[in-house]
Amino acid sequence: MRITMIGTGYVGLVSGVCFSDFGHDVICVDKDPKKIEMLKAGKVPIYEPGLEALMARNVEAGRLSFTTELAPAVDGAEAVFIAVGTPTRRGDGHADLTYVMAAAEEVANALTGYAVIVTKSTVPVGTNRRVKQVVAKANPQAEFDVASNPEFLREGAAIDDFMKPDRVVVGVQTERAAEVMADIYRPLFLREFPIVTTDLESAEMIKYAANAFLATKITFINEIAALCERVGADVKEVSKGIGLDGRIGNKFLHAGPGYGGSCFPKDTQALARIGQDNAVPQSIVETVIRVNDTVKHRMIEKLRDLCGGTFNGKTIAVLGVTFKPNTDDMRDAPSLTIVPALVGGGAKVRVVDPQGKREGEGLLPGVVWAEDPYKAAQNADLVVILTEWNEFRALDLKKLAKKMASPRMADLRNIYSVQDAKRAGFEAYECIGRPGMA
Ligand code: NAD
C-alpha cells in the first residue's frame, strides 16, 4: 500500500516507521524543514528507544522516505494519515484543530485519485465529519472517504505499543474505507490483535474516554495516597491490595506527583469542554483536572516542609524533569509546576535528566544543569526524585548523602524506602502516601 503520513512528531514518525516495517510504502511529510533534514540524514529528532534503528532498516529497504512537499507525497497515496498536533486552545480548554484543518485542506488540493483521509490525531467528536466537509469544499471533485484511527501508543514504549497494540480502533462510514484500513493493519490482524471497527463518532469518543479513564485512575490513587499519609497507611500496599482485584487491575495505580505529558492534561480538558458544549458536564473528569492540580501543589508544600518552611537560600537537586522516563517530552510535565516554585522561592536549583536538557533548557529558566545526580547533589540541602528514570532507581545513596550539605530526600516516585534512606545516612526522607522520616 502507498501511505502518506502528515506530521513527523511522536505519533506520526512512529506510525510511519512502523507502517513501513509492515511492508507498506510510506512517505512522511512535515512542514518543519529542520525535522525533515534530520530524518533524511538518518537522525530521529525525538528520543524514542529503538526508533532510529527501525527507521534506518526501512529507509534502506526503500519503503520509507521524508519530505516537506505535501502535494507530491499525497499524489497516488491510497491512505493519507493526519498526525499533527491538537494542543489545548489558549483560553478555553478546547482542542485546537487549526493544524488538522489546515492539513486537511492541503491534502484536498493534492488528491489525484481515491484515498482515505485518516485522522490519527486526537480530535473531538465531530471532527472527522468536519474534515470531510473541508476536503469536499476545497476540492469538490475529490474522490475520498474519511476515517478515524486514534492512536494509543505511549512515548518511551511507542514501537512495542504500535506493533503489539491492545487494540486498533478504526471509525469509518463506508465499506471501501473499512477495506483500505483493514489492508493497512492486516499484519496485526493476522497476529490476532483486536481491531475495533466503529462509526466515526464512537472512534473519536473511545480515545478521549480511554485517556480520561486512565487520568482518573492515577488521580484516584494520588488522592488515596494523601489520605494514607494522614492515617499512617502505605499506598504501595493499598495499590497492590486493590490492583490484584481483576476488576481493578494493577496498572496506573502508582502514586506520584500528578499526571502530566502531551496527552492526559489536554485530553481531559478537551473532554470536559465537549461535555459542557453538549450540556452533559463530565463532572468526574472536571474533578480529576482540579485534583491533579492540587496534587502538584501538595508536592511543593511537601518540599517546602523538608526545607524547614522556606526555599530561600537552599540548594536543591532535582532528578528528572521529563513527564516520564524514556522520553525527552516535557509537555505539561509536573517539573514545569514544581521547579519554578523552587526557583521562585529563592532556591538554587540543579537539574539532571538523561534526555530532558534539550527541551528543558528553554522551559526551566534559572536552573543549572548538572551532568549526573552526584554532581547535582554537591552541597545540596535537598534532593528531589521527580522522574523515575532507570539511572535514578539504582543510585548509590551513601555516596549521594555524603555529597550533600544536609542529606534530605523527597522521593516523589516511591522508589526507595525509609530503611534505604536511613542506612545511607539521610537525615530526612519523604515519599508519597507512605510514612517517611523527618
Ligand atoms: P507533535 O507536536 O510531536 O508532532 C506534530 C508534527 O506535525 C510536528 O512535527 C509539526 O511540524 C507537524 N505538522 C503540523 N502541521 C503540519 C502540516 N500542515 N503539514 C505537515 N506537518 C505538520 O505531536 P504528537 O505528540 O505526535 O501528537 C500528534 C497527535 O497525536 C495529537 O493529536 C496527540 O494528541 C495525539 N497522540 C499523541 C500521543 C503521544 O504520546 N505523543 C499518543 C497518542 C495520541
Query: Same CATH topology for 2-198 and 233-438?
Result: yes
DSSP 8-29: -SHHHHHHHHHHHHHT-EEEEE
d(CA 265, CA 98): 19
The set of cell numbers assigned to 124 is: 473531538
Residue-range domain boundaries for the chain? 2-198, 233-438
For residue 110, which amino acid is it? A
Give domain 233-438's CATH superfamily: NAD(P)-binding Rossmann-like Domain (3.40.50.720)
pLDDT value for 438: 84
The set of cell numbers assigned to 292 is: 491533579
Distance 367 CA to ligand 1 centre (A): 29
Distance 7 CA to ligand 1 centre (A): 6
Distance of CA 411 to the CA centre of its chain: 22
102 within ligand 1 shell (Cβ under 6 A): yes
d(CA 75, CA 210): 35
151 within ligand 1 shell (Cβ under 6 A): yes
383: helix, coil or strand? Answer: strand
32 within ligand 1 shell (Cβ under 6 A): yes
Q: Active-site positions?
A: 263
Binding-site sequence positions: 30, 35, 86, 122, 152-155, 207, 252-256, 260, 266, 324, 331
262 within ligand 1 shell (Cβ under 6 A): yes
Distance 85 CA to ligand 1 centre (A): 4
Q: Looking at residue 50, what DSSP letter applies?
A: T
ipTM of predicted complex: 0.99
35 within ligand 1 shell (Cβ under 6 A): yes
Q: Looking at residue 125, what DSSP letter applies?
A: T
pLDDT value for 72: 98
Beta bridge partners of 34: none
- Ranges of residues in the chain with a pLDDT under 50 are none
Give the angle subtended at the CA of 338 by the CAs of 332 and 343, to the nearest 5°.
Answer: 125
pLDDT value for 91: 84
The set of cell numbers assigned to 117 is: 483521509
d(CA 146, CA 132): 6
346: helix, coil or strand? Answer: coil
**Are 380 and 317 a contacting pair, CB within 8 Å?**
yes
d(CA 22, CA 27): 14
Binding-site sequence positions for NAD(+): 30, 35, 86, 122, 155, 266, 331
Distance 385 CA to ligand 1 centre (A): 29
Q: Looking at residue 406, what DSSP letter applies?
A: S
For residue 21, which amino acid is it? D
Q: Atom of ligand 1 at shortest distance to CA of 123?
A: 32
d(CA 180, CA 116): 7
pLDDT value for 35: 98
Classified by CATH at the fold level, domain 2-198 comes out as: Rossmann fold (3.40.50)
Beta bridge partners of 118: 81, 147
Binding-site sequence positions for substrate: 152-155, 207, 252-256, 260, 324
